[in-house]
């Protein structure tokens, strides 16, 4: 009788555990399905660059990839298989592929012949125009380690293709962009004795210069030419800029700042890069530009006013100001959080979609309590209708609302420099499916 009682207790406890697990499992799967439907409706399931490519035939639906993703909700389990739920949030850490026990995931770009936002490249990152190369974000891959590796790989290939005379008053290589990809390319050019000039609108650092002060940047293991492997996995904006500026100083890189590329003409052996600061000639051209390009404008009355800006450099300068931040990506959310921590700063965040679904998981975890506490007034589902010297007007679910305002930051992304590439003859996905000649 006693043993029967023990068995009954054990079975009852087991049933409770199984029931609770099954209920939680079902809840998670239903939630994944709900989120997938929502992101599809909002157009957020589609990626901006690289994303997990899942072999449904191999996937066993264990959910290991979901737990491994640093961004939180890129992946989910629907109908017993891993699926991309929020592709727009993926930035290609690749940890899902590393964690998958059956090798069912790899991070890539998919079929680029069907994507009009990805230039067609060969295995060495050469475009359909021989001698014109791409490294970094323009290739569709984000992350600093990808940019550094692509810059290195491109210059290694250029050095291996044989040398020829540089154009008169020109260089072996003209690099456009002084971010991680461009700096890596320039360093490898120096290692191979190739003359190289780097052109940039700002200075060493590229997109990093746009980050808010003290922003933490997650860095995958990366080997920088001449410097070696970065020892940490996380750096502040200032630490990364110190690294790039140190490379510039210590290796005598020829970086011309304050010049913006406006066009590329010519062919292999004699390219001309037209800029706002003159023309630069080179045997090869490496475009190490970001995908942001020209800041996206709102095209509303009052946008040309002095109080409207398209980047935030120093949040501390806006203490005790009434600020509107427009956008729903990481840059907008990070700016809003930085401003919210300034004394007396009243921050409104306007986003055209009802939820912040594009941002990194870390930013989601940080901004949610600020919104809940009222330190950031999140106006989801709204668009800016007009900007006035002392107020802004937003259109949204409640109709038009007027908000007192001193400053406006439009951080709604940018228009990629695809026009420059297409004018140079570079083909994009959907335009050509023939292999690029090596």
**How do residues 311-337 score in pLDDT, each as one tens digit?**
887 788 899 999 999 999 888 999 999
Q: Are residues 255 and 121 in the same domain?
A: yes
Predicted pLDDT of residue 303: 93
Residue 33 domain-assigned (yes or no):
yes
What residue numbers bound the domain in which 210 lies?
114-293+416-423
d(CA 41, CA 165) in angstroms, rounded, equals: 55
The token duo for 244 is 């790039």
How confident is the model over 265-288, as pLDDT tens digits? 999 999 999 999 999 999 999 999
Residue 10 domain-assigned (yes or no):
no
Predicted pLDDT of residue 438: 32
CB count in 10 Å sphere of residue 390:
9
Four-residue CA torsion sign, 24, 27, 33, 34: negative
Q: Are residues 124 and 238 in the same domain?
A: yes
How confident is the model over 212-226, as pLDDT tens digits? 555 556 556 777 888
Q: Are residues 333 and 252 in the same domain?
A: no
Position of tokens 């017993």?
Answer: 80
Residue 16 domain-assigned (yes or no):
no
Which of 108, 133, 152 is where one domain is finished?
A: 108
Residue 358 sits in a domain whose CATH number is 3.50.50.60
113 has pLDDT over 70: no
Residue 64 sits in a domain whose CATH number is 3.30.70.20
pLDDT, the chain, mean: 82
Q: Per residue, what are the HEC states of 231-298?
A: CCCEEEHHHHHHHHHHHHHHCCCCEEECCCEEEEEEECCEEEEEECCEEEEEEEEEECCCCCCEECCC
Domain count, the chain: 3
Q: Of 207-216, 248-257, 330-339, which gets the smallest average pLDDT? A: 207-216
Q: Are residues 88 and 137 in the same domain?
A: no
Q: Are residues 239 and 324 in the same domain?
A: no
Q: Are residues 104 and 119 in the same domain?
A: no
Mean pLDDT comparison of 5-19, 220-234, 421-435, highest-scoring range: 220-234
Q: Are residues 242 and 386 in the same domain?
A: no
Q: Are residues 288 and 301 in the same domain?
A: no
Which of 61, 76, 108 is where one domain is finished?
A: 108
Residue 270 domain-assigned (yes or no):
yes
Q: Are residues 29 and 140 in the same domain?
A: no
Q: Are residues 64 and 145 in the same domain?
A: no
Residue 59 domain-assigned (yes or no):
yes
85, 125 Cβ separation under 8 angstroms: no
Cβ neighbourhood burial of 193 (10 Å; 0-12, 13-18, 19+): exposed
Tell me what the mean pLDDT of segment 291-297 comes to.
80
d(CA 264, CA 133) in angstroms, rounded, equals: 12
Q: Are residues 34 and 94 in the same domain?
A: yes
Tell me what the mean pLDDT of segment 374-381 comes to.
96
190 has pLDDT over 80: yes
Residue 138 domain-assigned (yes or no):
yes
Which of 63, 92, 108 is where one domain is finished?
A: 108
382 has pLDDT over 50: yes
Tell me what the mean pLDDT of segment 377-399 comes to.
95
Q: Are residues 278 and 367 in the same domain?
A: no
Residue 433 domain-assigned (yes or no):
no
257, 203 Cβ separation under 8 angstroms: yes
How confident is the model over 17-62, as pLDDT tens digits? 555 655 555 566 566 566 656 555 555 555 556 667 787 778 878 8
Higher pLDDT, 93 or 100: 100
d(CA 274, CA 260) in angstroms, rounded, equals: 8
Half-sphere exposure in the Cβ direction for 261 (13 Å, CA): 31
Residue 193 domain-assigned (yes or no):
yes
d(CA 247, CA 203) in angstroms, rounded, equals: 12
């Amino acid at each position: 009788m006693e043993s029967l009682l023990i068995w009954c207790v054990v079975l009852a406890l087991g049933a409770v555990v199984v029931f609770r697990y099954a209920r939680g499992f079902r809840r998670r799967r239903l939630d994944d399905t709900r989120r997938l439907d929502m992101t599809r409706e909002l157009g957020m399931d589609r990626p901006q660059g690289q994303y997990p490519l899942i072999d449904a035939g191999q996937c066993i639906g264990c959910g290991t990839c979901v737990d491994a993703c640093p961004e939180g909700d890129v992946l989910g389990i629907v109908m017993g298989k891993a699926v991309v739920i929020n592709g727009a949030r993926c930035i290609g850490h690749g940890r899902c592929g590393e964690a998958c026990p059956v090798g069912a995931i790899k991070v890539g770009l998919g079929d680029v012949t069907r994507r009009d936002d990805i230039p067609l490249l060969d295995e060495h990152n050469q475009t359909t125009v021989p001698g014109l190369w791409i490294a970094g974000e323009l290739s569709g891959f984000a992350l600093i380690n990808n940019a550094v590796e692509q810059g290195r790989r491109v210059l290694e290939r250029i050095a291996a293709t044989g040398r020829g005379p540089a154009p008169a008053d020109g260089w072996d290589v003209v690099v456009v962009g002084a971010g991680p990809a461009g700096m890596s390319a320039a360093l490898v050019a120096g290692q191979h004795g190739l003359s190289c000039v780097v052109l940039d609108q700002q200075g060493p650092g590229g997109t990093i210069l746009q980050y808010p002060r003290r922003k933490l940047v997650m860095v995958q293991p990366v080997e920088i030419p001449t410097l070696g492997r970065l020892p940490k996995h996380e750096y502040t904006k200032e630490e990364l800029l110190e690294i790039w500026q140190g490379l510039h100083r210590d290796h005598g890189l020829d970086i011309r700042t304050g010049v913006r590329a406006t066009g590329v003409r010519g062919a292999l052996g004699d390219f001309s890069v037209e800029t706002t600061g003159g023309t630069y000639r080179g045997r090869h051209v490496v475009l190490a530009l970001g995908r942001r390009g020209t800041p996206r404008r709102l095209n509303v009355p009052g946008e040309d006013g002095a109080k409207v800006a398209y980047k935030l450099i120093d949040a501390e300068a806006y203490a005790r100001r009434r600020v509107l931040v427009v956008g729903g990506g990481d840059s907008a959310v990070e700016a809003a959080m930085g401003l919210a921590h300034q004394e007396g700063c009243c921050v409104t965040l306007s986003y055209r979609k009802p939820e912040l679904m594009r941002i990194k998981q870390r930013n989601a975890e940080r901004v949610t309590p600020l919104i809940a506490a009222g330190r950031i007034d999140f106006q989801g589902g709204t668009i800016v209708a007009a900007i006035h010297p002392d107020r802004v007007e937003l259109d949204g679910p409640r109709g038009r609302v007027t908000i007192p305002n001193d400053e406006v930051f439009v951080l709604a992304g940018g228009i990629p420099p695809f026009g420059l590439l297409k004018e140079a003859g570079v083909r994009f996905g959907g335009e050509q499916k023939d292999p690029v000649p090596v």
